[in-house]
Amino acid sequence: MRLFSTSCVLVTILWAPLVYCNDAANVTKSSTIPAIVVKPKPTCLGEFCFDQKSPLISEEDFVKRYGEGYTQGGEFAYHCYEVPEQKLFVHFWPYHANQREIMEIFVSDVPNCLTAKPPKTAFQPLITTEGLKIGDTYEKVVSLYGKPDVTRKANGLEKIGLDVDKAKKSAPFGNKFLSYWPDKNALLHADIYFRNGKVAAILISVHP
> Mean pLDDT across the stretch 14-34?
49
* Residue range(s) defining the domain that contains residue 99: 44-205
> In this predicted structure, what is the pLDDT of residue 8?
41
Enclosing H/E stretch for 199? strand 198-205
Among 126, 121, 133, 135, which residue's Cα sits nearest to residue 47? 126
User: CA-CA distance, 159 to 144, in Å (whole number)?
Assistant: 27
Of residues 109 and 163, more confidently modeled: 109
Q: Is the per-residue pLDDT at 98 higher than 90?
A: no
Domain assignment present for 35? no
> In this predicted structure, what is the pLDDT of residue 169?
87
Domain assignment present for 32? no
DSSP labels, 48-86: EE-SSSSPPPBHHHHHHHH---B---STT--EEEEEGGG
Domain assignment present for 156? yes
* CA 137 distance to own-chain centroid: 14
99: Cβ contacts below 8 Å, ≥ 6 apart = 58
Domain assignment present for 145? yes
Q: pLDDT band for 18, please (50, 70, 90 cuts).
A: very low
What are 54-70's pLDDT values in tens digits?
A: 789 999 999 999 999 99
CA-to-CA dists, residue 64 to 58, 94, 95, angstroms: 10, 14, 17
Domain assignment present for 197? yes
> Mean pLDDT across the stretch 7-25?
43
Domain assignment present for 138? yes
> Mean pLDDT across the stretch 78-95?
95
SS3 165: helix
Domain count, the chain: 1
Domain assignment present for 74? yes
Of residues 36 and 135, more confidently modeled: 135
User: CA-CA distance, 169 to 188, in Å (whole number)?
Assistant: 27
Least confident of 79-83, 85-89, 111-115, 182-186: 182-186
Domain assignment present for 16? no
